Structure 1
Amino acid sequence: MFYIGIDVGKRHHEVGVIDEKGQPIGKTLRFENSKSGSEKLLEFFNQHQLAPDNSVIGLEATGHYWLSIFSFVHKLGFKTTVFNPLQSDSLRNFYLRKTKNDVKDAYLIAQVIRIDSPDETPFIKEDLLKLRHLERLRYSFVDQVSDIKRKVISLLDQVFPEYEQLFSDTFSKSSTEVLMNYTLPEDLLEIDPQELANLLQEASNGRYGESRALKKADQLRESTLNTFGITIGTDVFKLQIQLLLEQIQLIEKHLKEIEEVMIEISNRQKHYLTTITGISDVTACVILGEIGSIDRFERPEQLVAYAGLDASVHQSGDFNSSNTRISKRGSPYLRRAIWQAAFVASNHDPALSLYYQKLRKRGKAHGTAIGAVARKLTHIIFAILRDNKPYEPRPQLDT
């Protein structure tokens, strides 16, 4: 049996081969991350008579650069294992620590495959790959919206600092419509109160009744008379606010489109993640996209580590910190989704809310308790995906 290690890079990869005794076979090959490079790799395989029935391949998941080479060797029929550097087991770590000479990474990866004989990495399904790209794009848009909103608030604080107190949500449909049409205090003074009330009624789809809309219009006008905002360069502030609000509207339109496609793809997977309190359709999409195949993980602890929710203990010499924090390694998208779900579950799930309350009574801080709920929730997610069964809360159990 031959063991093939591929060190993955952005533009170039390097491949090396060892035999059953761990001895290198020939020299390593450096090839481009391109079609011509893949043909060069195939020639390398043929040169050393490497085939799916006499060889296994290992490579590390470096960024997103590993996917194309993984797809290529998978189509050739090779048993291939993709390593997440954070999921390396104790034997691999032992081997790395004992390596003193300048062993090429390709040979090192091949040695790990030879010594540990890890399971084959399942090829990610097309739908799950689509989900991964869509949910990551969605998160980038969500963060963009949050950043733009902070900029709008900063501008309003300068030209109309009282405005933020007038609406429970500065970016509600009613408030946004007011800001788009009458951005500055002087703009509001020029409009008839009844006309402003009509705008509020229409923008709120009738949630503002006539009397309430008139009252809100009067409040707006009164605030403009007593505003302490700046009065120079206001035309530029007005332009900035309006353009930023337009950006928010456009991105939120894109978010809606992305989420519709995500949910449509997710529903084809026949999963039971949404039976868990706190996991919405969108959150389930993130979890499915980030995990891929649950067969990648043998134990729930591995999934916890992959999400970066495992504890990070600080120890040095005789000092051993009593405060532990989550490692925050692994997939930040998966960690973010599970953490948000844990926050909801801590308040509403029959079992997990009791677990959260028990931790709080023991003196645990809110964040520490949420982290513990997130880890327990990850165990539940692992079981649901592994067994393909819905979640059944068991609050009677001593957790």
Structure 2
Amino acid sequence: MAVQLFNHKPGKNGSHWIELLRSGKAHTILVVAIDIGKYTHKVMMANVYQDVVVKPFELDASLSGFQLLVAKIEETCQKNGLDEVVVGIETTAHYYEDLVRLCHEKGYVVRVINSATTSIERESMLNWSKTDDLDLVAIVHSILQGRGNPPKSLRKELRTLKKLTRFRRELVSQRTRLTNQQFALMDTIFREFQGKTVWVDGKKQKKKPFSTMETKTVQYLMRHHPHPEDILTLGEEGLYELSRKENLKLRKTAVDCLLEFARESISQPKEELAAELYQLKVTLDLLDNLKEKISDLEKKIEELLLPTDGALLLSIPGIGKVLAAELRAEIGPIDDYTHAGQLIKLAGTNPIVKQSGGHKATYGGISKQGRRHFRSVVYLVGSKCAVSNPELRKHYLALIDRGKKPRQAYIAIGNRVLRLAFAMLRDRRLYQSTDSDYSLKSILENKIGTHENRRQFCEAYVFSS
């Protein structure tokens, strides 16, 4: 047992396991290893001496399967004189969540094991095979060595915020794919619509009719007049009339450029592009619908964020409502952490340190041994604050001067913001700025839309402090 204790992880997780074993009843602990599947789970039971007391068996992933598991556990405990039940569950997609909740409600000690941990355990046994039975053995070994985490129950509002912010991120990715798709289709329909190369006084330049492709004007033309023949049919007078009628605000330079590009276009005739034109129409419809859904979702996220302590993060320049909601949701219950370094490790943005003997320590890339979503948020926070936060921008420029690459500097700034966020949430205090131009009032006016919401924010965090 001494070797197993020596391998425990320090902190709350390891201490929790140590307390179980130091209670003087280690020999009465039943370890239940569960390998999760979508339709069928596999279970094995052992004691702390690694004796298998119940051979691997299967149960269905529903209430009847859980009832069978409980009956088997009670029968085994009574038969072998065991009292404490420790359930080790390997994380597999989202299929493990309901079983974790049921076991926790039943009163069992639950330890959630990452699939990477069981993989390392199999390698430590010098066995490169992959079977359900070997996974169960690896789960038992992981439990006995103090690995795994107790399930964390998020507050309802934080859990909802986490689900919605991650869902929004997925929708934004879909929007990006559709946006790229519409421009790829326009390359076929009207090759020069997004610009082309011209030579002025022997120098190569890029000439574009529109400075950005996200305007109302561009979207209208792609939907109703996407082909060069459409532009030539309208002509100069037709384009100006269309601009007045639809409030497109077409300038003379844009009109002249469009007509020039349409006359010199190498695109295929319109009658040969029926498939591409139909795809473009469907893509634009999907894109408009998706933008509307994202806008509604962002309003919902704002409503959920403001009543929570995550609203404190809005006082940080560079962090808007959606980003504040993402950061607060990924952090979770602040009471679970004793220092900000635990948050950085949870995100996997902690640098890898290599040191041996008298050699100087070297710092490589980040560990990436954390939550992928959390890591993405930390990077995004760093990139936004490096531009929009005057104080943190100074740190960013100092890192660049020291030879850091921009992506490395963004991670460093993101970690700095994590330390700030930890202190602000723990102490329930606003961002403390030394910048003479910092104005909390103007920041709140830009980030919080309604007067009533700003008043509630001030009553909760400004006047109270």
Q: Give the TM bin, normalised by the shorter chain.
A: 0.7 to 0.9
Query: Does the Cα contact within 8 Å between 1:194 and 1:214 map onto a contact in 2?
Result: no
Shift of 1:170: 1.5
**In the alignment, what sits opposite 2:281?**
242
- What is the correspondence of 1:119-138 to structure 2 with a 5 Å cutoff? 120-138=150-168
Matching residue within 103, 107, 113 for 1:73: 103
Matching residue within 179, 183, 206 for 1:153: 183
Higher relative contact order (CA 8 A, sep 6+): 1
**In the alignment, what sits opposite 1:43?**
71
Q: Which amino acid aligns with 1:220?
A: L
Give TM-score, length-normalised by structure 1: 0.81
Distance 1:203 1:332 in 2: 44
Matching residue within 193, 196, 199 for 2:239: 196
Matching residue within 362, 366, 379 for 2:406: 366
**In the alignment, what sits opposite 1:33?**
61
Shift of 1:383: 3.6
**In the alignment, what sits opposite 1:309?**
349
Shift of 1:280: 1.9
Shift of 1:48: 2.9
**In the alignment, what sits opposite 2:261?**
223
Shift of 1:368: 1.9
1:380 equivalenced with 2:423 (yes/no) = no
Shift of 1:289: 3.6
Shift of 1:69: 0.7
Query: Does the Cα contact within 8 Å between 1:349 and 1:393 map onto a contact in 2?
Result: no
Q: Which amino acid aligns with 2:110?
A: T
Matching residue within 243, 257, 261 for 2:300: 261
1:175 equivalenced with 2:218 (yes/no) = yes
Shift of 1:186: 1.0
Query: Does the Cα contact within 8 Å between 2:235 and 2:259 map onto a contact in 1?
Result: no
Listed one character per residue, the Cα deviations across residues 165-209 of structure 1 (whole Å, up to 9, x for unaligned) are 2112223211101111111111122226455335445656x8x3x
Shift of 1:67: 0.7
Query: Does the Cα contact within 8 Å between 2:100 and 2:151 map onto a contact in 1?
Result: no
Distance 2:188 2:125 in 1: 60
Cα distance change, pair 160–321 in 1 and its aligned pair in 2 (3 A): farther
Q: Which amino acid aligns with 1:145?
A: R
Shift of 1:132: 3.1
Cα distance change, pair 323–393 in 1 and its aligned pair in 2 (3 A): same
**In the alignment, what sits opposite 2:326?**
286
Shift of 1:228: 3.1
Distance 1:379 1:291 in 2: 11
Deviates more, 1:169-178 or 1:266-275: 266-275
1:392 equivalenced with 2:432 (yes/no) = yes
3-state SS in 1 of match to 2:55: coil
Q: Which amino acid aligns with 2:169?
A: Y
Distance 2:99 2:191 in 1: 55
**In the alignment, what sits opposite 2:92?**
62
Listed one character per residue, the Cα deviations across residues 223-276 of structure 1 (whole Å, up to 9, x for unaligned) are 322323333623333222222212211111111122222222233323223233
Query: Does the Cα contact within 8 Å between 1:198 and 1:213 map onto a contact in 2?
Result: no
Percent same amino acid among aligned pairs?
24
Shift of 1:110: 4.2
**In the alignment, what sits opposite 1:334?**
374
1:7 equivalenced with 2:45 (yes/no) = no
Q: Of the two, which has the highest radius of gyration? A: 2
Matching residue within 174, 181, 184 for 1:144: 174
Q: How many residues align?
A: 383
Query: Does the Cα contact within 8 Å between 2:113 and 2:147 map onto a contact in 1?
Result: no
Query: Does the Cα contact within 8 Å between 2:112 and 2:149 map onto a contact in 1?
Result: no
Give TM-score, length-normalised by structure 2: 0.70
Distance 1:327 1:119 in 2: 19
Deviates more, 1:101-110 or 1:219-228: 101-110
Cα distance change, pair 95–150 in 1 and its aligned pair in 2 (3 A): closer
3-state SS in 1 of match to 2:94: coil
Distance 2:316 2:230 in 1: 49
Distance 2:142 2:275 in 1: 61
Where in structure 2 are there 5+ consecutive unaligned residues?
1-27, 195-207, 436-465
Distance 2:386 2:76 in 1: 57
Cα RMSD after superposing both structures: 3.7
Where in structure 1 are there 5+ consecutive unaligned residues?
none
3-state SS in 2 of match to 1:56: strand
Query: Does the Cα contact within 8 Å between 2:171 and 2:294 map onto a contact in 1?
Result: yes
Structure 1: which 4+ aligned runs deviate by more than 6 Å? 92-97, 320-323
Distance 1:192 1:183 in 2: 14
Query: Does the Cα contact within 8 Å between 1:74 and 1:123 map onto a contact in 2?
Result: no
